[in-house]
Amino acid sequence: MSVTAPSVESESKEDRLLAYLRRSAADGEMYFKSKFISDDVGLSPKEIGALMVRLSDSATDLEIEKWSYTSATTWRVAPA
């Protein structure tokens, strides 16, 4: 019997996005558009946008802000 890594489905969408943001912002601030990270986290840009609004209020270890809007929202994420 082999042991497999936990599947992406076993991790909530919010947890998956939060883990990605923490890794990406570990060395300082990052800027991104949802459509450019959607494949990396396995979520649609619309799902990412909705989760970012929620995480901006609940993720105490990250500063999350809507940075600008030009054809799509740009998000700024930095360690708190």
**pLDDT class for 70, splitting at 50, 70, 90?**
confident
Kindly list the structural domains of the chain, giving each domain's residue range(s) and its CATH number in brackets, ordered by start.
13-79 (1.10.10.10)
The average confidence (pLDDT) of the chain is 89
For 2-40, what is each residue's pLDDT tens digit? 444 444 456 899 999 999 999 999 999 999 999 999 999
Cα dihedral across residues 33, 58, 54, 7: positive or negative: positive
For 35-65, what is each residue's pLDDT tens digit? 999 999 999 999 999 999 999 999 999 999 9
The predicted pLDDT at position 4 comes to 42
The more confidently predicted of residues 79 and 5 is 79
Q: How far is CA 51 from CA 3, 5, 12, 54, 79, in A?
A: 31, 25, 11, 5, 18
The predicted pLDDT at position 9 comes to 55
